[in-house]
Structure 1
């Protein structure tokens, strides 16, 4: 699968950045992992080869027995007419109350996952990776109210992200990540 191969390659490049976070970006505090679990829709992203051409992208998080979080990223590849999926694991960098995790989809190689903005009702999140080349706007539904989306993008721009390069994910044929096979 192209998605998994590219994901692994990209994450291997990040090995030196395993738990870093971008300058002037802070993770949320008072983070409640249990409320973050479940399925999130990718609303917008800075594009990378491991997600190139994917629509209907979701991330599903579940508790692991070892205290970590299981991660399933899923997206539809129209060119190949198939669903691509990558399974990984995540662990907290500081503590469970800080939205800063390290995520691995391949063995010992980890990349940062920093929740830098989070709705008080856990309905949307702004997430970054180890540097300002990685940014995701996530929501519990396939779309966000325009005002909320604009505010998140404006905040990302203030932090120094190139929001002109955001790709908005097509969810026009959206199915639940649990039911789409």
Structure 2
């Protein structure tokens, strides 16, 4: 008899996760774009082909007078290597929805960018794609305490992201090679 409740619990959990993955992403209510601008260090991400193996990565956003956003991606291929920068752009498909952007970092690739979490002080953010294949946790500082990181992972899990694929990005030489880091 104990197998039936456990089986029902597993099936219900799978159904809930499936629904979360199919539902539209829940973005933050509003982003004050001038406050959001600046350099955001990538604390953790679901690695993709363009970011895999890079260290000291950061996104830098600059709001332009026409409302578009310069998106500069800073990275190194090793801490002993020079910094490189990719120049991209971002824009708001709906200027009233400041939490949903279009981003083009590498031509011709464009993607949706949804701000899923943002602390009141504009120091920590989490961004994901509607497909739930990519996710970033970023901070205005090169480090983020583990409790905050874990809370964001739980928020992402609740929205259907595969958080088990998340890896931390080495921001300091002493981070390289540690468990959980790329």
- Is the TM value for this pair above 0.5? yes
The Cα shift of 1:28 comes to 1.5
TM-score by length of 2: 0.77
State the partner residue of 1:142.
Answer: 142
User: What secondary structure, in the 3-state scheme, does the structure 2 residue paired with 1:113 have?
Assistant: strand
Give 1:98 shift: 2.6
Q: Which moved more, 1:107-116 or 1:145-154?
A: 107-116
Q: What SS does structure 1 have at the residue aligned with 2:50?
A: helix
- Runs of 5+ consecutive residues of structure 1 not aligned to the other structure: 1-21, 175-181
May I ask how many residue pairs the two structures share in their alignment? 154
Find the counterpart in structure 2 of residue 17 from structure 1. none
Local SS of the residue matching 1:148: helix
Spell out the pairing of 1:112-127 with structure 2 (5 A cutoff).
112-127=112-127
Which protein is bigger by CA-based radius of gyration?
Answer: 2
Could you tell me whether the CA contact under 8 Å between 2:37 and 2:60 is conserved in 1? Answer: yes
1:43 aligns with 43
Alignment match, 1:95? 95
1:73-97 per-position Cα deviation (integer Å, ceiling 9, x unaligned): 0111029933232111111122255
Shift of the alpha carbon at 1:128?
Answer: 0.5
Q: CA RMSD in A?
A: 2.2
Q: Which has the higher contact order (CA 8 A, sep 6+)?
A: 1
Counterparts of 1:110 and 1:49 in 2: how far apart (Å)?
15
The SS at the match of 1:149 is helix
Provide the secondary structure at the position in 2 that maps to 1:144.
Answer: coil
Unaligned ranges ≥5, structure 2: 1-21, 175-182
SS at match of 1:50: coil
Measured in 1, the distance between the counterparts of 2:59 and 2:86 equals 10
TM score, norm. by length of structure 1 = 0.77
